[in-house]
Amino acid sequence: MTITIKTPEPRSEGARAFLARRQKQILIDGVWRDAGSGQRFETFDPASGRLLAELAEATASDVDEAVASASAALTSKEWKGMTPSARGKLLWKIAELIDAHVEELAELETLDQGKSFRTGRFGEIPASAEQFRYFAGFCTKILGTTIPTSIAYQPEGREIFAYTTREPVGVVAAITPWNSPMLMAAMKLAPALAAGCTVVLKPAEETSLTAIRLVELMLEAGLPKGVVNLVTGFGEVVGAALTAHPDVDKVAFTGSTEVGKLIVSAAQGNLKKLTLELGGKSPAIVMPDADMALAIPGIARGIFSNSGQVCVAGSRVYAHRAVYEEVVDGLSKAAAALTLGHGLDTGTDLGPLVNRKQADRVAGFIAEGRSEGAEITSGGNQTGEFGTFFEPTVVTSVRPDMRMMREEIFGPVVAVTPFDHPEEAIAYANDSPYGLAGSVWTQDLSSAHRLAARVKAGTIWINCHSYFSPELPKGGHKQSGWGYENGAPGLENYLETKTVCAVI
Ligand code: NAI
Ligand code: MG
């Protein structure tokens, strides 16, 4: 099957107007301008190959200016002097503007990234607004404590008064990936601003459009200049300059484990604080008593949505032998029923992968697996005029040592393995350098919570997969990352504690 696709015209006035302004700029200290070098790079619709925009290609000297602007804004009257209540209102206003532009933002995300319009319109864009709404509430509730001390050596007749205050960690470099571009940016910007930090945002070079539009909306909401700066460009240049910069206090990164490790090295110079949301190889364990009417569509959605380009995608399914055939059959039928096409076409379930390179990478895993004896029960082919699509694929007869079972594929590929005893399922599930997420499918309460406790991962879902919300902390155990995003722990990572101890 070869799909030839044209880019449909976006329906929203906003997306059309945004794309009509073909050349995009970077934002430094409240001013949009070209990169210092004057260089640009192009961004395309991965479904049709159409050129969408030319982006400013920033270099290290632009990064220096962006960081200087963020440093100055940290102590500016407009930002540091803003009351917590006003900061909360500002975040809420940003959420309202995102909601008001939801159609436009979803269309831009589909065009730039490939995902189905539905995913953006009803999932990721409203979820981005919710990030700002959730963290808006924290602004007025960032509290220190008073501490009764037991220190024995205060001078006669004096007392000790000790307390803590919370301070923003400082200048944050937010480096985001291409799988859910707007949501990943919102997940960093919202807590950073709630904490009073300032930010230099570097979106993925493949998908920078919604980040640009989001920052425009943030300025429209009244964000003071310098509080958020935006530099578009390449990871090895802009990302590397930010992570090594002596005046960046923290890096908030989502992306590959490989780049996560590079950032750990680069951050050594000034011992930056790091939160790293890295890769995953998340297991789904299906017990013999699972409710199949929930499990099959839930597992299918957990791996195939966004064409598998999801850090928590449930790419390894372990099914009890009593239900193994039913799971393989059910997932294969669910895969075959999904329609590939342009994300803006209403009948489309799955768009292309983000680019040819990513689709080639997925195809490489499948070819290697096949040569080692893996069997494909559905899909398995790279397709589309530009080779950017990949069919939703179900694989069986895999072994734990195969590369497709150890590395993050980041495509619509799920491998199903039978097990006989829950201990075997736990051993399989934990046999991975990753520990991001996992799901357990059973109607037995005890078995559900026992399995949840035994699988090493930052999130376990029971009878669901890939359920997110800003109040649910999300982070990786093992090599899936450091620190947490969302929930109260997500705010903590943007705050320092200061202890004040006084003899009075
Ligand atoms: P990547 O990790 O290279 O890209 C993520 C971000 O890091 C981008 O903004 C990029 O510009 C930036 N970056 C790249 N090199 C950098 C450096 N040296 N210093 C600082 N920042 C840098 O991901 P890539 O190469 O686009 O995708 C490769 C694989 O990574 C995917 O197939 C997938 O397995 C994994 N990945 C995982 C993600 C997740 O959410 N877990 C997201 C994106 C990719
Ligand atoms: Mg890369």
- One domain, residues 287 and 232: no
- One domain, residues 322 and 253: no
CATH of the domain at 209: 3.40.605.10
Quick one: pLDDT at residue 7? 87
Closest ligand to Cα 354: 1
Arithmetic mean of pLDDT over the chain: 97
Domain that holds residue 382: 283-471
Joined together, the tokens standing for residue 263 give 């950032």
Please list the alpha-helical segments (H only) found in 230-280. 240-244, 257-266
Confidence of residue 152 (pLDDT cuts 50, 70, 90): confident
Quick one: pLDDT at residue 227? 99
Is it the case that residue 203 has pLDDT exceeding 90? yes
Does 311 participate in catalysis according to the annotation?
Answer: yes
Q: How far is the CA of 390 from the centre of ligand 1 (A)?
A: 20
The reply to whether 490 falls in a domain is: yes
- One domain, residues 155 and 303: no
The reply to whether 10 falls in a domain is: yes
Decide: residue 296, CB within 10 A, 0-12 exposed, 13-18 middle, 19+ buried: buried
> What's the whole-model pTM score?
0.97
- One domain, residues 261 and 372: no
- One domain, residues 342 and 262: no
SS3 for 172-237 is EEEECCCCCHHHHHHHHHHHHHHHCCEEEEECCCCCCHHHHHHHHHHHHHCCCCCCEEECCCCHHH
pLDDT tens readout for residues 217-255? 999 999 999 999 999 999 999 999 999 999 999 999 999
The reply to whether 143 falls in a domain is: yes
pLDDT tens readout for residues 91-126? 999 999 999 999 999 999 999 999 999 999 999 999
Q: How far is the CA of 359 from the centre of ligand 2 (A)?
A: 14
Is it the case that residue 366 has pLDDT exceeding 70? yes
Instruction: For ligand 1, atom 38, name the residue with the nearest CA.
Output: 255
- One domain, residues 37 and 161: yes
The reply to whether 320 falls in a domain is: yes
Element at 254 (helix H, strand E): strand 250-254
Quick one: pLDDT at residue 121? 98
CATH of the domain at 391: 3.40.309.10
- One domain, residues 466 and 486: no
Does 220 participate in catalysis according to the annotation?
Answer: no
Closest ligand to Cα 181: 1
Quick one: pLDDT at residue 154? 81
- One domain, residues 309 and 391: yes
Quick one: pLDDT at residue 2? 60
Q: What is the three-class DSSP state of 251?
A: strand
Confidence of residue 3 (pLDDT cuts 50, 70, 90): low
- One domain, residues 355 and 290: yes
At CA 376, angle to CA 375 and CA 378, rounded to 5? 155
**Average pLDDT for 177-181:** 98
Please state the length of the chain: 504
pLDDT tens readout for residues 448-464? 999 999 999 999 999 99
- One domain, residues 455 and 496: no
- One domain, residues 252 and 287: no
Instruction: For ligand 1, atom 42, name the residue with the nearest CA.
Output: 255
Confidence of residue 1 (pLDDT cuts 50, 70, 90): low
Instruction: For ligand 1, atom 24, name the residue with the nearest CA.
Output: 256
The reply to whether 476 falls in a domain is: no
At CA 251, angle to CA 245 and CA 257, rounded to 5? 110
Are residues 339 and 112 in contact, defined by beta-carbon separation less than 8 angstroms? no
- One domain, residues 296 and 408: yes
Quick one: pLDDT at residue 4? 72
The total of structural domains in the chain comes to 2
Spatial distance between the Cα atoms of 419 and 424, rounded to a whole number of angstroms: 6
The reply to whether 80 falls in a domain is: yes
